């Protein structure tokens, strides 16, 4: 199987080397996103932001026309791999962008290495992803970034006992581990670590167990779609009345779904890299333009990953004067720093991972709508998953 996969690729690469003229004048960006299935909102948000960027900055950079080729992988790793092959071999794309979930990014990593194609992870958040190929970069976030910060913050802000509830898959394990380390280092105690099956999210028994342990707060990471169910059941079970708070990385209070969760979520404290409420001029414009272009849809943290991926590609092309050679683009992208709607960010030249501010936010009601309002900032946070090594 592996041989079969490699052969057409090798042939294609040979062809590309023989006749680079085919790509003259056009830069093709292959977008592999989840446009259907449970992660649909991620795909929709990311792609909308990418299109918005092109609309705002024109579709020509350094004399080259930018062309998006969008493929739907339904957040399934096998599909992502197949589509990446198609994009590389048949469409001869110059850059790959997307990857709603970690497994899809991991599946494409070996192809990126082999074809020497800069591949930008715009969504997935497991720490190890960028280590899997020297051609991977990330414009989203890593779960340890926000989990460590919320752990440190909680320990300093009167939270002593915590029960962790995370979905039982790689990002969940990542966030639980890094939160626990940071929180216990700060003097806190994790009294119970619960893992919830990813597929059947009835949180009732887990919440009951958390309640019986009577902690100060529950640390929660679930994929963004399940956040609303979690919060509803949390309230239904009366954990809020028992004086237990919800803390966690910002996936729970996803901007896209926040308004549907109801007023009960007010007061939830999370750490994350983007809030639609981020008080900067750039972000205000971004939110306004995004809503206008998408029927009033509010941009969420996944969208800025797509927006910044486009910025990275545009700026790298300007640096290389339109040269689409994979290694030259990579060199141009590494170390780049700019202001994103989320605040100042940069690409770490060593790990190719994102360095960004992490904000502590609290859900509040503003003008009749729910927002994550930022009230503390941790500046230029590197991925703690790698910093340790």
Partner 1 sequence: MVTILFDGIAYGMLLFVLAAGLSVTLGLMNFVNLAHGAFAMAGGYAALVVVNRLGVPFGLGLVAAFLFSAALGALLERTLYVHVYAKSHLDQVLFTIGLVFMSVAIVDYTMGSSQQFIAIPPVLQGQITVLGIGMSKYRLMIIVICGVLTALLQLGLTRTRFGSRLRAAVDDQRVARGLGINVGAVFALTFALGSGLAGLGGALGAEILGLDPIFPLKYMIYFLIVVTVGGTSSITGPFLASLLLGIGDVAGKYYVPQLGAFVIYTIMIVVLIWRPQGLFVRKGAR
Per CB under 8 A, residues contacting partner 1 are 36-38, 40-41, 168, 194-197, 199-202, 204-206, 208-209, 225-226, 228-229, 232-233, 235-238, 257, 260
In whole angstroms, how close is the CB of 225 to partner 1 at the nearest point? Answer: 5
In whole angstroms, how close is the CB of 192 to partner 1 at the nearest point? Answer: 8
Positive or negative, the CA dihedral 126, 132, 138, 144 is positive
Strand partners, 67: 28
In whole angstroms, how close is the CB of 22 to partner 1 at the nearest point? Answer: 36
Q: Which is nearer to partner 1, 240 or 315 (CB)?
A: 240
Q: What gap in Å lies between CA 126 and CA 167, rounded to an integer? A: 13
In whole angstroms, how close is the CB of 194 to partner 1 at the nearest point? Answer: 5
Q: Is 296 left (phi over 0), alpha (psi -120 to 50) or beta?
A: left
Q: Which is nearer to partner 1, 36 or 60 (CB)?
A: 36
Q: Which is nearer to partner 1, 232 or 386 (CB)?
A: 232
* Host H or E run for residue 381: strand 369-381
How far is C-alpha 332 from the geometric centre of its chain's CA atoms? 22
CA distance to 8, 19, 69, 86, 109, per residue, from 13 (Å): 8, 10, 19, 13, 17
Spell out the residues 6+ positions from residue 317 whose beta carbon is closer than 8 angstroms to its own. 27, 61, 62, 64, 324, 329, 332
Q: Which is nearer to partner 1, 145 or 224 (CB)?
A: 224
Q: Which is nearer to partner 1, 99 or 206 (CB)?
A: 206
Q: What gap in Å lies between CA 224 and CA 317, rounded to an integer? A: 33
Query: Which structure tokens are listed for 354?
Result: 């994102």
Q: Which is nearer to partner 1, 112 or 163 (CB)?
A: 163
CA distance to 179, 180, 213, 216, 234, per residue, from 209 (Å): 20, 18, 6, 14, 12
In whole angstroms, how close is the CB of 214 to partner 1 at the nearest point? Answer: 13
Q: Is 149 left (phi over 0), alpha (psi -120 to 50) or beta?
A: alpha
Query: Which structure tokens are listed for 168?
Result: 């039982």
Q: Which is nearer to partner 1, 242 or 337 (CB)?
A: 242
In whole angstroms, how close is the CB of 300 to partner 1 at the nearest point? Answer: 12
Nearest Cα to 244, choosing from 272, 212, 204?
212
Q: Which is nearer to partner 1, 38 or 325 (CB)?
A: 38
Q: Which is nearer to partner 1, 75 or 313 (CB)?
A: 75
In whole angstroms, how close is the CB of 226 to partner 1 at the nearest point? Answer: 7
In whole angstroms, how close is the CB of 146 to partner 1 at the nearest point? Answer: 22
In angstroms, how far is the first alpha carbon of the chain from the final one? 34
Q: Is 135 helix (H, G, I), strand (E, B) or coil?
A: coil
In whole angstroms, how close is the CB of 204 to partner 1 at the nearest point? Answer: 5
Q: What gap in Å lies between CA 125 and CA 51, rounded to an integer? A: 22
């Amino acid at each position: 199987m592996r041989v079969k996969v490699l052969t057409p690729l090798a042939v294609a690469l040979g062809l590309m080397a023989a006749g680079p003229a085919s790509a003259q004048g056009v830069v093709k960006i292959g977008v592999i996103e989840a446009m259907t299935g449970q992660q649909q909102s991620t795909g929709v948000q990311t792609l909308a932001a990418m299109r918005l960027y092109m609309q705002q900055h024109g579709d020509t950079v350094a004399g080259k026309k930018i062309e998006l080729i969008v493929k739907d992988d339904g957040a399934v790793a096998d599909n992502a791999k197949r589509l990446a092959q198609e994009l590389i071999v048949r469409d001869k794309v110059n850059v790959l962008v997307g990857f709603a979930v970690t497994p899809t990014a991991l599946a494409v990593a070996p192809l990126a290495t082999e074809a020497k194609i800069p591949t930008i992870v715009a969504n997935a958040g497991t720490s190890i992803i960028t280590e899997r190929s020297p051609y991977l970069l990330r414009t989203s976030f890593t779960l340890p970034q926000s989990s460590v910060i919320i752990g440190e913050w909680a320990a300093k802000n009167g939270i002593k006992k915590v029960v962790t509830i995370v979905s039982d898959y790689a990002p969940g394990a990542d966030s639980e581990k890094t939160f626990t380390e940071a929180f216990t280092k700060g003097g806190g105690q994790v009294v119970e670590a619960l893992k919830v099956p990813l597929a059947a999210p009835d949180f009732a028994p887990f919440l009951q167990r958390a309640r019986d342990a009577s902690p100060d707060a529950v640390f929660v990471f679930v994929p963004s779609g399940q956040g609303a169910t979690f919060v509803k059941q949390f309230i239904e079970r009366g954990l809020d009345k028992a004086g237990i708070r919800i803390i966690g990385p910002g996936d729970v209070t996803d901007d896209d779904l926040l308004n549907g969760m109801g007023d009960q979520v007010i007061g939830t404290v999370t750490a994350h890299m983007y809030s639609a409420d981020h008080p900067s001029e750039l972000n205000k414009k971004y939110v306004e333009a995004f809503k206008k272009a998408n029927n009033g849809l509010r941009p969420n943290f996944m969208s800025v990953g797509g927006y910044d991926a486009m910025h990275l590609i545009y700026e790298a092309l300007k640096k290389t004067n339109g040269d689409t050679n994979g290694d030259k683009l990579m060199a141009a992208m590494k170390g780049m720093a700019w202001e994103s709607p989320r605040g100042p960010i940069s690409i770490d030249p060593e790990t190719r991972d994102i360095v960004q501010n992490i904000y502590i936010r609290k859900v509040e009601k503003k003008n009749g709508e729910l927002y994550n309002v930022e009230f503390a900032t941790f500046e230029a946070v590197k991925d703690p998953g790698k910093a340790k090594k």
